[in-house]
Structure 1
Amino acid sequence: MQGDLKASCLFGQLHKFTDGDVTLYQSNAILRHLARKHGLYGKNEMEATLLDMANDGVEDLRLKYVKLIYQNYEEGKEQYIKELPTQLKPFETLLSQNQGGKAFIVGDQISFVDYNLLDLLLIHQVLAPGCLDAFPLLSAYVARLTARPQSSKSFLASPQAQGSPHQWQRKNSEPWA
């Protein structure tokens, strides 16, 4: 609760996002709000439901990653990397079930989950280079999404992102959360 911005946050932590008359807190609430607003939440209720499920899986893995980085990096890294294939397999399965892995995580248009999963996969590739080698659909998915001009990887390489935590991570090849 240090600093004016943090003290102004409902839950005493960042993220804080204002969109018109609404101020939102919590990363995933912000993410889902922007997804709905910009048409990145599936074409129908079923796709939205599947996206919620996939995003919960992404966030489960992100939480494990954050715990590793902040609580047990030195002692836990080897075991975490050993168990990583088990954690990545569900995403490979989801891709295989959607147009044989040639589309997105759900449906035929990009969603907020695709961006969230891409971010998580990119930081895992820094933590454990080659972690996607046993997952051809995930590997192709990362290549396909990062090749998009509007991808987060393209943004991270841009001058606008200089100094961001992702830039620090990429330059220093150290994981961050």
Structure 2
Amino acid sequence: ICLLQQYTDSSYEEKKSQWLNEKFELGLDFPNLPYLTDGAHKITQSKAILGCIAYKHNLCGETEREKIWEDSLENQLMDNQMQLARLCYNADFEKLKPGYLEALPAMLKFYLQFLGKQPWFLGDKIALVDFIAYDVLERNQVFEPKCLDAFPNLKDFISQFEATHFPL
């Protein structure tokens, strides 16, 4: 969320230390971190916050085709994000890790094919789904540093994302 807020030059304030004192006094439907107050809107849940920021800054698919692709890819990325999280927090991590690593190239191949030769996952314009893809691909690369070696367009995507928008 912070990366998207930085990209869109949206102001934000992190107030985790005050959260427990005020969480039930903020008028949130579902008191939770993170939350976003945007005018009259008070939003919780990460996906809803990301969608709000993306919509406000025209970072969503525009055509029906792009919107369908965006939804499909976003859900696939979230599934993969959850698979990695479940693995990392599993008591049988060491036993399950080889299976995840064995399946990882097939998962990455789908992203390679989806991205193709486009600069961004929906085409020529960066969209919310690119932020999610970056997060998922980067986490997998941290988990297994060589996982993208066989996928040059995914490595190029990460490099382009970091160099163009966030010199990290």
| TM-score over 0.5 (shorter chain) | yes
1:131 corresponds to: 147
State the SS of the aligned residue for 1:18.
strand
Q: What is the rounded CA distance, in whole Å, between the counterparts of 2:58 and 2:123 in structure 1?
A: 13
- Give the Å deviation of 1:11: 4.0
8 Å CA contact 1:104, 1:114 repeated in 2: yes
Answer with 40-49 or 58-67: which moved more: 40-49
Q: What is the rounded CA distance, in whole Å, between the counterparts of 1:120 and 1:5 in structure 2?
A: 32
8 Å CA contact 1:118, 1:142 repeated in 2: yes
What runs of 5+ residues in structure 2 fail to find an aligned partner? 1-18
Q: What is the rounded CA distance, in whole Å, between the counterparts of 1:19 and 1:77 in structure 2?
A: 41
Which of these residues, 32, 52, 73, is aligned with residue 54 of structure 1?
73
1:19 corresponds to: 38
Alignment TM-score, normalising by the size of structure 2: 0.78
State the SS of the aligned residue for 1:43.
coil
- Give the Å deviation of 1:132: 0.6
The one-letter code sitting in structure 1 at the alignment partner of 2:85 is V
State the SS of the aligned residue for 2:37.
strand
2:122 corresponds to: 106
Q: What is the rounded CA distance, in whole Å, between the counterparts of 2:88 and 2:21 in structure 1?
A: 27
State the SS of the aligned residue for 1:3.
helix
2:106 corresponds to: 86
2:57 corresponds to: 38
- Give the Å deviation of 1:6: 5.5
Which of these residues, 113, 116, 122, is aligned with residue 138 of structure 2?
122
Q: What is the rounded CA distance, in whole Å, between the counterparts of 1:46 and 1:102 in structure 2?
A: 15
Alignment TM-score, normalising by the size of structure 1: 0.74
The one-letter code sitting in structure 2 at the alignment partner of 1:69 is C
State the SS of the aligned residue for 1:23.
strand
The one-letter code sitting in structure 2 at the alignment partner of 1:132 is L
State the SS of the aligned residue for 1:107.
coil
2:13 corresponds to: none
The one-letter code sitting in structure 2 at the alignment partner of 1:70 is Y
- 1:79-128 per-residue CA deviation (whole Å, 9 max, x = no partner) reads 212211122221111112xxxx2321012100011011111111111110
Q: What is the rounded CA distance, in whole Å, between the counterparts of 2:55 and 2:129 in structure 1?
A: 12
Q: What is the rounded CA distance, in whole Å, between the counterparts of 2:53 and 2:68 in structure 1?
A: 16
8 Å CA contact 1:42, 1:48 repeated in 2: yes
